[in-house]
């Protein structure tokens, strides 16, 4: 319905109507073409927004690293996390894991991840998330370490 072909032929028809002196019909046609044009502009804006959200998510995916059982978020020399592998793979959500004595636990899906003896603790810099990730990303779940 919103095809450019339809509009092209619509404009041509309006021109022909004008040339034939059928001005009221031409006016009605131009009005409907204008409505379609505005609808297409809205759709275009929505698509642009969607595209930038996808680009942000891909940018995030670039920074997510899998250590064999959990995910970590990398930014230059900083490592944040860990995050639940099950939740990220299934829902695209980065859910912080809670640290226990010998394992990490996901508060969302209750998955457990054993802590290897040589695993380094992440450095904590809380500004990182806010500056790197925009509010438009619906996939990210921010949760404080408990
Ligand atoms: Zn989980």
**Where do the domains of the chain lie?**
4-55, 67-132
pLDDT greater than 90 at residue 119: no
Return the closest-CA partner of residue 126 out of 87, 59, 73, 88. 73
Q: How far is the centre of ligand 1, averaged over its atoms, from the C-alpha of 24 (Å)?
A: 63
Q: How confident is the model at residue 90 (pLDDT cuts 50, 70, 90)?
A: very high
Q: How confident is the model at residue 122 (pLDDT cuts 50, 70, 90)?
A: low
Q: How far is the centre of ligand 1, averaged over its atoms, from the C-alpha of 108 (Å)?
A: 5
Q: How far is the centre of ligand 1, averaged over its atoms, from the C-alpha of 113 (Å)?
A: 10
Assess contact for 83 and 67: CB atoms under 8 A.
no
Assess contact for 81 and 141: CB atoms under 8 A.
no
pLDDT of residue 96: 95
Query: DSSP secondary-structure letter at 119?
Result: P
Q: How far is the centre of ligand 1, averaged over its atoms, from the C-alpha of 81 (Å)?
A: 13
Q: How far is the centre of ligand 1, averaged over its atoms, from the C-alpha of 87 (Å)?
A: 4
- Measured CA to CA, the distance from residue 67 to residue 20 in angstroms comes to 73
Q: How far is the centre of ligand 1, averaged over its atoms, from the C-alpha of 105 (Å)?
A: 8
pLDDT of residue 8: 72
pLDDT greater than 60 at residue 126: no
Q: Across the chain, what does the average pLDDT equal?
A: 82
């Amino acid at each position: 319905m919103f095809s450019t072909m339809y509009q092209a032929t619509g404009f041509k028809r309006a021109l022909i109507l004008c040339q034939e002196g059928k001005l009221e019909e031409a006016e009605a046609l131009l009005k409907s073409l204008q409505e379609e044009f505005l609808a297409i502009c809205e759709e275009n804006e929505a698509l642009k927004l969607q595209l930038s959200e996808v680009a942000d998510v891909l940018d995030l995916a670039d920074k997510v690293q899998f250590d064999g059982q959990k995910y970590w978020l990398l930014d230059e020399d900083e490592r944040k996390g860990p995050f639940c592998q099950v939740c990220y793979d299934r829902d695209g959500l980065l859910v912080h894991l809670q640290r226990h004595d010998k394992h990490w636990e996901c508060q969302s899906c209750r998955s457990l991840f054993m802590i290897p003896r040589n695993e380094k603790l992440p450095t904590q810099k809380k500004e990182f998330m806010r500056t790197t990730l925009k509010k438009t990303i619906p996939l990210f779940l921010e949760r404080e370490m408990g």
